[in-house]
Structure 1
Amino acid sequence: MSSMLDAEAGTRPVDIETMRESIGLLLGPDAATPEGEELAGLTGLLRGHMQLIIPEIEQAAGKLPTDDVPRYCALACIGEARAKLRTAAGDGPHRAAAYARKLARALAALCDHYEALMGVAMCLACDKPIRDREASMPYSHVSASGGAACAGRIHTRCAHVLRRR
Structure 2
Amino acid sequence: MNAPSGQWASQRGASAEPVDAETIGETICRALCLGTAPFDSAVLVGLEEELRGHIGLLFPEVRDAAGRIWRGSTEWHRRIARLDGVERQVKQGISDAPLAAHIQVQQLARDCQWLLTQHKADA
Classify the TM-score, shorter chain. Answer: 0.7 to 0.9
* TM-score after normalising by structure 2: 0.77
Aligned counterparts of 2:49 and 2:104: Cα–Cα separation in 1: 11
Is the counterpart of residue 114 in structure 1 residue 119 in structure 2?
yes
Which moves more between the two structures, 5-14 or 49-58?
Answer: 5-14
Q: 1:21 aligns with which of 19, 23, 26?
A: 26
Q: Point out which structure has higher relative CO (alpha carbons under 8 A, 6+ apart).
A: 2
Aligned counterparts of 1:69 and 1:89: Cα–Cα separation in 2: 32
Opposite residue 81 of structure 1, the aligned amino acid is V
Find runs of 4+ consecutive structure 1 residues off by over 6 angstroms. none
Q: 1:41 aligns with which of 39, 42, 46?
A: 46
Is the counterpart of residue 105 in structure 1 residue 110 in structure 2?
yes
Alpha carbons 1:61, 1:117 under 8 Å: kept = no
CA RMSD after TM alignment: 2.1
Number of residue-to-residue matches in the alignment: 115
Opposite residue 82 of structure 2, the aligned amino acid is C
* TM-score after normalising by structure 1: 0.60
Q: Which residue is equivalent to 2:94?
A: 89
Structure 2 unaligned segments of length 5 or more: list them: none
Residues 85-120 of structure 1 deviation map (CA, whole Å, 9 limit, x = unaligned)? 1113222222221111111111112222222222xx
Aligned counterparts of 2:78 and 2:22: Cα–Cα separation in 1: 22
Aligned counterparts of 1:42 and 1:70: Cα–Cα separation in 2: 30
Identical pairs, percent: 28
Alpha carbons 2:27, 2:47 under 8 Å: kept = yes
Q: Which residue is equivalent to 2:73?
A: 68
How far apart are residue 70 of structure 1 and its match?
Answer: 3.2
Structure with higher strand content: 1
Aligned counterparts of 1:15 and 1:40: Cα–Cα separation in 2: 21
Structure with higher helix content: 2
Q: 2:64 aligns with which of 37, 41, 59?
A: 59
Residues 21-74 of structure 1 deviation map (CA, whole Å, 9 limit, x = unaligned)? 11100214xx45661322211110101111111111111122222223433322
